[in-house]
Amino acid sequence: MIMNNDKLIAELKQKLQDSSRIVGIYSWLIDSYVLDFYVDNHWERLPTNWKLCFDGLDIRKLRDLLNEAPQDKESHVWPLSVLALRVLFRKYCLTRNLPTQEDNLGAALEKERTRFQAQHKLFNKSVKLKKRHEIEKFGEQCWRTGRKTNVQHLVDIGSGQGNLARTLCYGFGFKVCCIEQDQKLIESARQKDEELSSRLKRQLKFETMHHPIHLSKKVNLEEIDPSQFVKMVRDAFNVEKDVPFQFGLVGLHPCGDLAVFLMKLFLSCPEAKFIKLVCCCYMKLSTVKDKCSNFGFPTSAFCKQSGLHLSYEAREIACHAIEQYCNKLGSDYEELKVHAFRAAAEKIIVKFHPQLKHSGLRSTKVSDLSFAQYCEKATSGMGLELPESEIESTEVRTDLSHWERVVKFYTLRLMFAPLIESIVLYDRWLYLLEQGIHSEIDVIFDPVCSPRNHALTGEK
* Of 65-69, 113-117, 154-158, minimum mean pLDDT range: 113-117
The boundaries of every CATH 3.40.50.150 domain in the chain are 116-313+418-459
Per-residue model confidence as pLDDT tens digits over 14-41? 999 999 999 999 999 999 999 999 999 9
pLDDT in tens, 200-234: 887 766 666 789 999 988 877 677 899 999 999 99
pLDDT tens-place string over residues 250-275 = 999 999 999 999 999 999 999 999 99
Sheet holding 247-255, edge to edge: 213-216, 175-180, 153-157, 247-255, 272-280, 454-459, 438-443
Mean pLDDT, the chain, whole residue set: 90
In the prediction, which pLDDT does 151 show?
97
- Asked if residue 422 has pLDDT above 80, the reply is yes
User: What pLDDT, in 10s, does the model give residues 120-131?
Assistant: 666 767 778 898
Torsion, Cα of 102, 103, 109, 112 (10° steps): 140
Q: Which residues contact 110 (CB under 8 A, 6 or more apart)?
A: 117
Measured over the CA atoms of residue 337, residue 338, residue 343 and residue 348, the dihedral's sign is positive
The domain made up of 116-313+418-459 has a fold known as Rossmann fold (3.40.50)
Distance CA 285, CA 203 (A): 44
Specify the higher pLDDT residue, 292 or 341: 341
Distance from CA of residue 275 to its chain's centroid? 17
Please give the Cα distance from 457 to 460 (Å, whole number): 10
* Helix or strand (DSSP H, E) at 456: strand 454-459
* 96-99 contacts, C-beta under 8 A, 24 or more apart: 96/68, 96/322, 96/323, 96/418, 96/443, 96/447, 96/453, 96/454, 97/68, 97/443, 97/447, 98/443, 98/444, 98/445, 98/446, 98/447, 98/453, 99/443
Q: Which tens digits make up the pLDDT trace of 375-391?
A: 999 999 888 889 999 99
Q: What percent of the chain has pLDDT over 70?
A: 92
d(CA 308, CA 16): 9
**What pLDDT is attached to residue 76?**
79
The amino acid sitting at 159 is S
| pLDDT above 90: residue 355 | yes
Summarize the confidence of residues 91-101 as an average pLDDT: 89
What is d(CA 86, CA 144) in angstroms, rounded to the nearest whole number?
35
- Fill in the DSSP letter of residue 360: P
